[in-house]
Amino acid sequence: MEMIVKEENGIVSLKVAGRLDAESSILAEKQVRDIIDGGITRIVFDFSELDYISSAGLRVILMTIKELRTKDGRVVLCSLNEYVQEVFDVSNFSSIIPITASCEEGFELLSQA
């Protein structure tokens, strides 16, 4: 897994590439916690290059949502491929997390908050 972090106008984009599984989720969770501890309350997860996500990866997303809710923050997922979208649909996460087709739409959604 590779995670590229970019900040723009108080919104952090996390581009996750490869696999977000049991092994890589430990590092991903640490990186996300560091970002939140740094005062960021709006995060866009860019999954355009994410090939696979496991339940451990879903846990990272859920942890992010819970942490940000306590700080009046928000999370948006963008650019999910068919497989990753199916994982979010089957797990019913897609009903609690905003998902946009593009990252531009995700940034726009968070900019309105």
Pairing mode, if any, of strands 42-53 and 99-100? unpaired
Residue 81, in any domain of the structure: yes
Domain that holds residue 63: 2-108
Tell me, yes or no, whether 102 lies in a domain.
yes
Asked if residue 113 belongs to a domain, the reply is no
Residue 92's CATH number: 3.30.750.24
Distances (CA, A) of 50 to 16, 76, 79: 6, 15, 9
Give domain status of residue 28, yes or no: yes
The residue type at 85: Q
Confidence of residue 113 (pLDDT cuts 50, 70, 90): low
pTM: 0.94
pLDDT, averaged across the chain: 95
Token representation of residue 111? 């900019």
Residue 61 lies in a domain: yes
Measured CA to CA, the distance from residue 17 to residue 99 in angstroms comes to 17
Residue 33 inside a domain? The answer is: yes
Domain count, the chain: 1
Using the predicted structure, report yes or no on whether residue 11 has a pLDDT greater than 70.
yes
